């Protein structure tokens, strides 16, 4: 990985334009989500075509909107995104995309890089007036219990749509390389017989973390490197004995160790900044 340049930390009056620009991005994102939920997304969803075509149409529109939001964040100096091996995502169909979760905007960045992707969203977003239209029209998956979630994921993956899952469950806590991985991603991959693609998100400055509110705009531009790893074949875990539970534990352990190894050097750099 090429070393990311650490940006200067802003203070005093110099920080005001950054703060105003960052907050404006989030306000625009919220209002854009609300307006698109009432206008363009329902139109795309109900335009003639097969159900799969309609959902794919909306997902591409969300991809374009999120890409615009990432451009806004870049222009205002909040983040700067670099990518490696992005073609592995461009050609992915019906794969489980897993990633670590260092910042508030991780899912937005990932969707901005992939036109055919969905994700699992918490029930709270389905009650959010700014975002519920987006997640509903785009065919995203509500987290409504293990068995229903598995059925929903199986249907989405079978249609060729990729699914983003953060095995940490929430943003990485400050002071950790990654949170402990839950077995959800492994269970979904193994029980739906789906391969996984690991994406490592590296950051070179602390910001937009779990401990911060959305309006605490980072004083340093966060350099984010999106590094797409090689596909993890689910089939190799079926050679092990002990049933689904043992395979899921082993896959989860392997994935967590992979991320810790990949991020160990980056963690020391970020901690110093």
Output the CA–CA distances (angstroms, integers) from residue 23 to 20, 103, 110, in the order listed.
5, 16, 21
Residues 6+ apart with CB under 8 A from 32: 65, 69
What pLDDT shows up at residue 187?
94
The token duo for 84 is: 């490696």
Side-chain-side CA neighbours of residue 254 (13 Å): 15
What are the residue ranges in the chain where pLDDT is below 70?
A: 1-5, 239-242, 265-273
Q: Is the pTM of this model over 0.75?
A: yes
d(CA 141, CA 16): 38
- Dump pLDDT digits (tens) for 75-129: 999 999 999 999 999 899 999 999 999 999 999 999 999 999 999 887 777 777 7
What pLDDT shows up at residue 242?
64
């Amino acid at each position: 990985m090429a070393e990311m340049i650490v940006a200067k930390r802003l203070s005093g009056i110099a920080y005001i334009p950054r703060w105003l620009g960052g907050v404006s991005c989030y306000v625009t994102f919220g209002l854009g989500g609300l307006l698109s939920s009432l206008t363009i997304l329902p139109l795309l969803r109900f335009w003639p075509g097969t159900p799969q075509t309609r959902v794919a149409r909306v997902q591409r529109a969300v991809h374009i909107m999120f890409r615009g939001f990432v451009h806004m964040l870049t222009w205002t100096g909040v983040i700067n995104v670099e990518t490696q091996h992005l073609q592995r995502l461009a050609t992915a169909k019906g794969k489980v995309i897993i990633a670590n979760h260092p910042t508030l905007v991780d899912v937005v960045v990932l969707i901005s890089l992939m036109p055919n992707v969905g994700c699992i969203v918490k029930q709270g977003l389905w009650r959010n007036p700014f975002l519920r239209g987006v997640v509903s029209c785009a065919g995203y998956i509500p987290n409504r219990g293990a068995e229903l979630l598995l059925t929903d994921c199986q249907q989405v993956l079978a249609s060729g749509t990729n699914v983003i899952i953060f095995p940490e469950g929430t943003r990485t806590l400050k002071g950790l390389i990654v949170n402990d991985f839950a077995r959800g991603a492994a269970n979904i991959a193994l029980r739906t017989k789906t391969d996984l693609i690991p994406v490592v998100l590296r950051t070179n400055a602390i910001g937009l973390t779990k401990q911060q509110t959305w309006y605490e705009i980072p004083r340093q531009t966060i350099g984010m490197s999106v590094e797409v790893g090689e596909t993890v074949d689910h089939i190799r875990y079926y050679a092990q004995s002990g049933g689904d539970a043992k395979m899921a534990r082993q896959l989860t352990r392997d994935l967590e160790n992979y991320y810790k190894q990949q991020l160990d050097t980056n963690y020391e750099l970020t901690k110093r900044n």
